[in-house]
C-alpha cells in the first residue's frame, strides 16, 4: 500500500510518500480502492505524536481517518458488501489510514453509499452524520 504518511513523529515537514506492506485479507475484512479522503484534526495530532500514549503505531504510518471508495476484495465471512460496491468508511485509528491508494478495513466500519453521490460528497456525508 502506498500513501502519504510519516516515518517518525513531527511537524508537517515529516509528511512524505511511504509504502507499507499489505497483509492477506482476513475473513471479516474488505479491501477498498480509495477515491476520496478527509483531512481532520486527529490526523495532525497523530502526526505530531499527541496520541502515542493511547495508541502504539507502527512506522511508516499512513495518515487519514475517513474515506470513500470502491470495494475491490471481500473476506470470506463478509456477506453485506460485494466487490464493486461504493462505500464510505473509517479505519481503525491505530492502523493504517486513508491517505493511500487502497486500504484493508474490517467490514463493520464500512457502509454502502447512495449511488447518486460523488465520492467527495460521500465523504462529506460521513463527516457530517
pLDDT tens for each residue of 88-99:
899 999 999 999
Does 122 score more than 80 pLDDT?
Answer: no
Segment among 21-35, 72-86, 115-129 with least mean pLDDT: 115-129
b/e per residue 55-66 (b: at least 16 CB within 10 A): eebeebbbbbbb
**Stretch 32-56: mean pLDDT:** 93
Cell of 112: 454502502
For the chain, domains (ranges, CATH) are: 2-7+37-127 (3.90.180.10)
Question: CB 110: neighbour CB atoms within 10 A?
Answer: 24
pLDDT at residue 23 in the model = 87
Residue 128 has pLDDT above 80, yes or no: no
Cell numbers placing 103: 486500504
Work out the burial of residue 35: count CB atoms within 10 Å of its CB; fewer than 13 is exposed, 13-18 middle, 19 or more buried: middle
* Mean pLDDT confidence for 29-49: 94
Amino acid at each position: 500500500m502506498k500513501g502519504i504518511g510519516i516515518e517518525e513523529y513531527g511537524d508537517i515537514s515529516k509528511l512524505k510518500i511511504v509504502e507499507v506492506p499489505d497483509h492477506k485479507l482476513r475473513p471479516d475484512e474488505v479491501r477498498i480502492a480509495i477515491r476520496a479522503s478527509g483531512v481532520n484534526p486527529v490526523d495532525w495530532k497523530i502526526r505530531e505524536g499527541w496520541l502515542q500514549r493511547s495508541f502504539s503505531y507502527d512506522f511508516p504510518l499512513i495518515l487519514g481517518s475517513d474515506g470513500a471508495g470502491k470495494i475491490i476484495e471481500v473476506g470470506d465471512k463478509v456477506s453485506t458488501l460485494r466487490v464493486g460496491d461504493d462505500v464510505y468508511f473509517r479505519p481503525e485509528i491505530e492502523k493504517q489510514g486513508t491517505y493511500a491508494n487502497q486500504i484493508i478495513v474490517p467490514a463493520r466500519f464500512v457502509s454502502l453509499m447512495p449511488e447518486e453521490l460523488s465520492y467527495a460528497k460521500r465523504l462529506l456525508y460521513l463527516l457530517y452524520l
